[in-house]
Structure 1
Amino acid sequence: MQNPTPSVPTAEQIRRAPKALLHDHLDGGLRPGTIVDIARTTGYTELPETDPDRLGAWFREAADSGSLERYLETFAHTCAVMQTRDALVRVAAECAEDLAADGVVYAEVRYAPEQHLEAGLTLEEVVEAVNEGFRQGEQRARDNGHRIRVGALLTAMRHAARSKEIAELANRYRDSGVVGFDIAGAEAGYPPTRHLDAFDYLKRENNHFTIHAGEAFGLPSIWQALQWCGADRLGHGVRIIDDIEQKDGEVSLGRLAAYVRDKRVPLEMCPTSNLQTGAAESYREHPIGLLRRLHFRVTVNTDNRLMSGTTMSREFGHLVEAFGYTLDDMQWFTVNAMKSAFIPFDERLAMINEVIKPGYAELKAEWLFAPGAGTPPVASGSAASGS
């Protein structure tokens, strides 16, 4: 009897599947109700809506404009309500809770400490408040039967001049909840090479960093991030598709695309966000489909859950619908993410072998014993192990 093809996972299976998230912005994932509550408490009166449902819709509509610059403008409101210690603790704790409830078992959540100083907090106080919030959220998740580990990425802004300072901050807290460094903001006109002193410092300290590159800008942004700055991962990196030619069913990789694939450079792709910023036309046409077939080290991420109205489960749901992905494919993406995480190797390996693989095995066993399912095929090496 021939083994049947694994079934497409249901929405509930997608939610329950263990997921790893590398690219999620803390100030892009607030609960609308929390924004309204904190704004009322702190006296912030600039919100476009004060009803949580209408406010959530406003954020999504603004993000759907197709412009990265307009997309980034929405953060003025979320950052405005993240200026006190209590607010930062609350937002971080709720972030961990929300991710855990969605089946995320490991997350690296990024934020820019320099954007949370308006009420008098120091950079150190910001980091310590967010770290405390993540620990509280992890505990609340455990109390509700969910397991999650959250690490922080400290982000510097491309248009500002504090990147070295933030890099030093990330290094100072690297054993206290901060797992790495990031640089973000509008790419055009603000190349990562403006911040070489920060990247050189991190390399000297043997620390990890990722760079937003290849999202709204093209191949030069990716090349600079890798070859000048030495990034460990690429935030988005979706424009690497511009260095891949498809003709008459044949695929040819340019030198940069080949380098990215050969070196196993992790790509932190965020499908819904990429559609909103115009980096892709539809889920079915998103480069992630081709890059997965070509075995680039692709990962699936949320970017900004509030602005995109998304979760990790929704991101995978869109990809399952667009490309017919199975649980094997989801496991492949998830193992890729854990292999690319900024925590130590033995901890990554433990997460893969003790949490992720057993979690998917349980879901596949459910499929195996479903009426008429038969015997599922043995997962291929790439599907089971990532790439």
Structure 2
Amino acid sequence: MTIDESAIRALPKVVLHDHLDGGLRPATIVELAAQIGHTLPTTDPAELGAWFVQAASSGTLELYLETFDHTVAVMQTEEGLRRVARESVLDLAADGVVYAEQRYAPEQHVQRGLSLQQVVDAVQAGFAEGVAAAAAQGRTIRIGTLITAMRHADRGDEIAALALANRGDGVVGFDIAGAENGFLPSRHASAFRTLAQAFFPATVHAGEAAGVDSIAEAVHVAGATRLGHGVRIVEDIDILDADGETLQARLGDLAHWVRDHQIPLELCPSSNVQTAAAASIAEHPITLLKELGFAVTVNTDNRLQSGTTLTREMSLLHTEVGWTLDDLRDATLTAAWNAFIHHDERERLVDELILPGFRQGGNGRHRA
């Protein structure tokens, strides 16, 4: 079966790894930057969008992260945060996303005097506005918020406490992000202990710029129930035979642990290529990991920097690697069943939105 992009866009989708400060509309950046006097590389929205993709495609995570200087700069006021959050929801809903976990680091948005709680309140207000506006357009979407601590800073305990303080107001999980090399999860071990004792889930950026040591700490020190990226788990896998009918591979102890416990991998194909964690979409380990039985999910990471959508990521996997509708459904179900919402809520998400949408095959718009 050949699936066209419009059919994939119509499918109900779940994204677990999507950064709020990596999904701004270029035109919004231009308008907000003008209001605060922030200088941009260009004030033409189309050119600015292209600049973000080009700058993010430098080949290293560190240079990729420098593009956020501009997005974070325009997210320092309640108005700016609310607008960005509202528009993010609308853009995701227009792409067929029915559940999204949006992550951001409140500590990065206090440069103009907002408190951490004011940042959270503004973002949550924007999410609520976006959900309501999407509903008015006939689209259903739910947002779960992941509060992120920057791994190179020393505010892990404070940010973990912030996440816990807002767990009943839309915040569903915790994350650490930023430069991975040299800043392993153990740096925030006390924060992760606090979260575990409070029965609060965490995902950890690991196995993107750093290798298996980072993944091991994410699992055993941070107690991560999902892995942000995790693409470099392949470094603990030896392929013995890829030519026969059955893929033969030898897994190391860590790879076995991740697969045996079905710890979901929040894989982001285009972003991983940009940061050189993968050579190309065709060579991305996501397909190998799927075939080996790992819990694979498909994600966008930063829609602005990658010039992408979840529809585009899935379309690339279909056209360049041969993923089928069943493959896309399985990855979507894996994402839904591993969302940081309660089990009964996941059941409703799967039974009422995802399975009916896939049975229709993208509203019937696939072609054989």
Normalised to the residue count of structure 2, the TM-score between the two structures is 0.97
Does residue 318 (structure 1) correspond to residue 316 (structure 2)? The answer is: yes
Kept in 1: contact 2:127–2:143 (CA 8 A): yes
Match of 2:173 in 1: 180
Does residue 107 (structure 1) correspond to residue 100 (structure 2)? The answer is: yes
| Residue 149 of structure 1, aligned match among 133, 142, 145 | 142
Q: Distance in 2 between matches of 1:327 and 1:105?
A: 17
Does residue 223 (structure 1) correspond to residue 216 (structure 2)? The answer is: yes
Q: State the SS of the aligned residue for 1:174.
A: coil
The amino acid of 1:259's aligned partner reads W
CA drift at 1:41: 1.3
Q: Distance in 1 between matches of 2:171 and 2:12?
A: 22
| Residue 163 of structure 1, aligned match among 152, 156, 160 | 156
Which of the pair has more CA radius of gyration? 1
The amino acid of 2:225's aligned partner reads D
Kept in 2: contact 1:327–1:364 (CA 8 A): no
Percent of aligned pairs with the same amino acid: 56
Kept in 1: contact 2:8–2:362 (CA 8 A): no
Does residue 79 (structure 1) correspond to residue 72 (structure 2)? The answer is: yes
| Residue 334 of structure 1, aligned match among 332, 335, 346 | 332
The amino acid of 2:347's aligned partner reads L
Measured at CA, do residues 362 and 187 of structure 1 come closer, stay the same or move farther in structure 2, by a change above 3 Å?
same
The amino acid of 1:317's aligned partner reads S
Q: Judge which range, 228-237 or 241-250, deviates more.
A: 241-250
- The unaligned stretches of length 5 or more in structure 1 are 1-6, 374-387
Match of 1:65 in 2: 58
Kept in 1: contact 2:273–2:280 (CA 8 A): yes
The amino acid of 2:214's aligned partner reads S
Q: Distance in 2 between matches of 1:262 and 1:77?
A: 41
Match of 1:275 in 2: 273
CA drift at 1:74: 0.5
CA RMSD of aligned residues (A): 1.1
Deviation string, structure 1 residues 300-359 (Cα, Å, up to 9, x no partner): 000000000000000001100122112111110000001110000000011001100000
Q: Distance in 2 between matches of 1:246 and 1:322?
A: 21
Q: State the SS of the aligned residue for 1:325.
A: coil
The amino acid of 1:24's aligned partner reads D
Deviation string, structure 1 residues 67-102 (Cα, Å, up to 9, x no partner): 111000000110000000000000000000000000
CA drift at 1:364: 6.8
Q: Judge which range, 244-253 or 284-293, deviates more.
A: 244-253
After the TM superposition, which segments of 4 or more aligned residues of structure 1 sit over 4 Å from their partners? none
Kept in 2: contact 1:269–1:301 (CA 8 A): yes
Q: State the SS of the aligned residue for 1:21.
A: strand
Does residue 56 (structure 1) correspond to residue 54 (structure 2)? The answer is: no
| Residue 19 of structure 1, aligned match among 13, 16, 36 | 13
The amino acid of 2:62's aligned partner reads E
| Residue 32 of structure 2, aligned match among 28, 31, 38 | 38
Match of 1:292 in 2: 290
Q: State the SS of the aligned residue for 2:205.
A: strand
Q: State the SS of the aligned residue for 1:94.
A: helix
Q: Distance in 2 between matches of 1:234 and 1:207?
A: 15
Deviation string, structure 1 residues 265-309 (Cα, Å, up to 9, x no partner): 010000000000001111111000101111210100000000000
Q: Distance in 1 between matches of 2:362 and 2:136?
A: 27
Measured at CA, do residues 367 and 143 of structure 1 come closer, stay the same or move farther in structure 2, by a change above 3 Å?
closer
CA drift at 1:248: 3.3
Q: Distance in 2 between matches of 1:365 and 1:208?
A: 34
Match of 2:245 in 1: none
Measured at CA, do residues 195 and 361 of structure 1 come closer, stay the same or move farther in structure 2, by a change above 3 Å?
same
Kept in 2: contact 1:199–1:229 (CA 8 A): yes
The amino acid of 1:119's aligned partner reads R
The amino acid of 2:150's aligned partner reads M
Match of 1:213 in 2: 206
Q: State the SS of the aligned residue for 2:364.
A: helix
Match of 2:239 in 1: 246
Normalised to the residue count of structure 1, the TM-score between the two structures is 0.92
Kept in 1: contact 2:10–2:363 (CA 8 A): no
Match of 2:88 in 1: 95
Deviation string, structure 1 residues 91-141 (Cα, Å, up to 9, x no partner): 000000000000000000000000000111000000000000001001111
CA drift at 1:34: 0.2
The amino acid of 2:257's aligned partner reads Y
CA drift at 1:255: 1.0
Q: Distance in 1 between matches of 2:169 and 2:221?
A: 29
Deviation string, structure 1 residues 181-210 (Cα, Å, up to 9, x no partner): 000011111111010010000001100110
Q: Distance in 2 between matches of 1:76 and 1:302?
A: 20
Kept in 2: contact 1:233–1:267 (CA 8 A): yes
| Residue 306 of structure 1, aligned match among 304, 307, 328 | 304
